[in-house]
Amino acid sequence: MMLVFASVLGFGQSLSDVNDLLGKSQYKKAKEAIDKHLSDTKNAAKADGWYYKGRVYNAYSKDSSLSPAEAMKLKMDAFEAFKKYQQMDSKELSFLLENHVSYFDLYNGFFDIGAREFNNKNFSGSFEGFKNALTVEEYIKSKNYEYSGFKFSNLDTSLVQNIAMAANNAKDEVSAVKYYRKLTDANLKGEQYLNIYVFLLDYYTKANDEANFNAILEKGKTLYPDNDYWVEVELDKVAKTGNREALYAKYEELAKRYPDKYVYPYNLAVELFNDLYTHDPKPTDIEGYRKRITETLKAAIKLDKGTDANMLMSRHITNIAYDLQDSVNKYKGMKQDQVNKRNEFKALYLKKVDEAIPYAEACVTYYAAQASLKPIQKANYKNVLDNLSQLYAAKKDDKKAAEYEKKKADLGN
């Protein structure tokens, strides 16, 4: 009995010393004392020593002389010690007396390190701090602990976002994606989360991860249906293939999907226009392209609240007219077949001139009604006036040609 009594007394005295050192804020010495205490296998087999280890290590981790890595190591050791105490003592009286505040204090400590190191641009350290805070938080939630009425939410969006941001800044894209996916998997939406979907799409594009790319794209379209970014991503993906017909088909698909949006038929017309008139080699089906541009622009004009579609249509038809004029000039002979061909192409040329004029005049009407013009609008206005002057000159209407030439001069430089 004397031996048993001495053993218990020795155990109690040791933890009492540790507690005294804690009370005096001598945390380094307290750490040495608890380490020595637990080095005895008999002491390590009892629960209370592990509770004290958690308290001591957590207290010492706040020493300003420690590096962030050292502080986090101490905090994580404290966390493991607390969990071991609970495993060894199902009644966990020490925790009940403090209402599990030690776990909340560990969470706060890790979070503070994460925030401080982020501000110090030590993003790797920040990532570890925030990640450890989440580890402790998830344990607290698994136990359904609360403190003074406070409980963590099911998904701590701010903390998860902080972890991902720190990882991304630390050039650890894999970890950033892992934590950003926690947010997108929860279908979070709002302007503050839009960039997360954008980041993930960019990542999966570079990784050639078709399945995840499509999953995030569809989710973005569902959660942000009015945002045009998703369409830009779809178009960019097709454009990068270099398949022009696939790009045309995508624009046509979008025009059907969004029948009230002018931009898709207009942009399709721009792509067709550039391929026909400005790129080499030219398409072999020139007439097919001309017809397609005309039909597409007619659809765009109905939706255009400005005048870009009218402007492009006038240029398109004028280009056709000039091609016909070149054909007129090919037939210079005086033989009847040459004269007939010349007259035939001249009639077609003048017909196209007549077709181009209403679209160009619609542009003039629009620009003239504007209270002020941006530099690009002014340049376009002068171009369309110059074009109209030439079109009327082709019709031998010198009065109209002079009228539009004067309007252009009145605009100045």
Q: What is the pTM of this model?
A: 0.76
pLDDT digits (tens, 9 = 90+) for 80-116: 999 999 999 989 999 999 999 999 999 999 999 999 9
Query: How much is the pLDDT for 8?
Result: 35
| Predicted confidence (pLDDT) at residue 249 exceeds the cutoff of 90 | yes
**CA-to-CA dists, residue 397 to 62, 349, 388, angstroms:** 90, 15, 11
| Predicted confidence (pLDDT) at residue 5 exceeds the cutoff of 70 | no
Q: Within 13 Å, how many C-alpha atoms sit on residue 276's CB side?
A: 22
Average pLDDT over residues 317-339: 87
pLDDT digits (tens, 9 = 90+) for 352-373: 999 999 999 999 999 999 999 9
C-alpha to C-alpha distance for 248 and 211, rounded to whole angstroms: 24
| Predicted confidence (pLDDT) at residue 184 exceeds the cutoff of 90 | yes
Q: What is the mean pLDDT of the chain?
A: 93
pLDDT digits (tens, 9 = 90+) for 61-80: 999 999 999 999 999 999 99
Residue type, 97: L
Closest CA to 198 of 169, 167, 220: 220
| Predicted confidence (pLDDT) at residue 13 exceeds the cutoff of 90 | no
Average pLDDT over residues 168-189: 97
Q: Give me the residue label for tokens 């894999």.
A: 174
- Rounded to 5°, angle at Cα 66 from 60 and 70: 85
| Predicted confidence (pLDDT) at residue 25 exceeds the cutoff of 90 | yes
Closest CA to 325 of 293, 353, 292: 353
C-alpha to C-alpha distance for 303 and 297, rounded to whole angstroms: 10
pLDDT digits (tens, 9 = 90+) for 380-398: 999 999 999 999 999 999 9
